[in-house]
Amino acid sequence: MTEIRAVVTGIGCVTPIGIGVEALWAGVQRGESAVKPIDRFVPEGLRSRIAAQIPHFDATGFMDKKRAHRMDRYSQLAVAGGIMALRDAGLEAKDLESERAGVFMGSALGGIAFAEEQCGQFMQGGFRSVSPTLGFSVFGGAASCNLAMEFGFTGPNETNSMSCGSGAVAIGRALQAIRRGEADVVMAGGSEAPLAPLSFGAFDMLRAMSTRNEEPSSASRPFDRNRDGFVMGEGSAILVIEAEHHARARGARIYGELAGFGLTNDAHHMSVPLPSGEQAARALKMALSSADMSPDDVAYVNAHGSSTLLNDVTESKVIRSVFGSRPVAVSGTKGLYGHPLGASGAIEAAITLLSLNNGWLPPTTNLSDPDPEAEIDLVSRQAREVKADAAVSNSYGFGGVNAVLAFRKA
């Protein structure tokens, strides 16, 4: 039996560097960091006081006021991304067979920021002051369920919460669903809205975030010798993934093939990567095997590049162990939009596809003093115009999650 191939036909996103696929790509090419002093709340008592915030997002631009009110920001970002993705794919929900359309989403924290806000309301005014939408707004599955309700998709539906690998895991699960013949069309990606005092402060207490408060635009600096932690961000990215025969039959524009997926766990530590990187390397090899690719086929690696001391060193070992000494372009794009946790893998999947389509591989923003311990000769400091036919995108997360996606150019 011939394996069903999965292709990406639509991209929708809400990010600190742009809303919509054209704005996202323009933001990547512009190369300017969106990190600024946080103004969503007063960061009193925190070491880190900077974040990558979405500056101009109004949910009522995508849905009516009543529907927007019934969702927290996490779900609003997801639904907005989904609406743009379906439009970008040239699809209308009414034309799809609902039972053959599904949704797979990922988020590290789900609606935790709204829960935090409502907890404050409760402490001040008791139950009568709490939003009646609390119960169905904050659970992790709210994103995929709200997307399903928005479009009437009654096929497979799932939201995972595998930390910063969540968005990539969701896209990988979508690939598996297409290959198994469970759906013809799947919306998949990640959404995250973690910018609230306690949620933000929890990572600050771990000393995982940058304290470059006086120079926010240079704070997120993957693979740089002077990196001092990640910068928290927010956002969403949704891909429309179709069975190739379904997309071809309707004459769809195709961004590329979602060709492979690998998922492993370090089983080592909740916040420290396995120093050898062997399980992350295994995930990368699994993605290549799933895509029927060899390392020699890959021209570009979109690195997880979190800008943390340990991750960047470990990831460079992983890339070197799989690709050896052959030239492969590598860049980390979190210098632009920070680290939106579970949404990052989905945003980076979109950037990887757009890079293949445009033959333009983004640089690593803010990489000014390469860290020799990170074997930094692998990582590009400049944009490259390269004809690339295949690429991979790495995503790693707390709990030792390693998720890798492999793509082919259309």
* Residues annotated catalytic, as ranges: 164
Phi first, then psi, for residue 366 (nearest 5°) are 75, 10
Separation of CA 270 from chain center:
20
Burial code (b: 16+ CB inside 10 Å, e: under 16) for 44-67 equals: eebebbbbbbbeebebeebbeeeb
Separation of CA 349 from chain center:
7
The beta strand positions in 2-100, using DSSP E, are 6-15, 18-19, 35-37, 50-52
CA distance 334 to 376: 16
Strand partners, 264: 402
Q: Which helix (H) or strand (E) holds 396?
A: strand 390-397
Paired sense of beta strands 185-192 and 101-106, if any: parallel
Number of neighbours of residue 1 by Cβ within 10 angstroms: 4
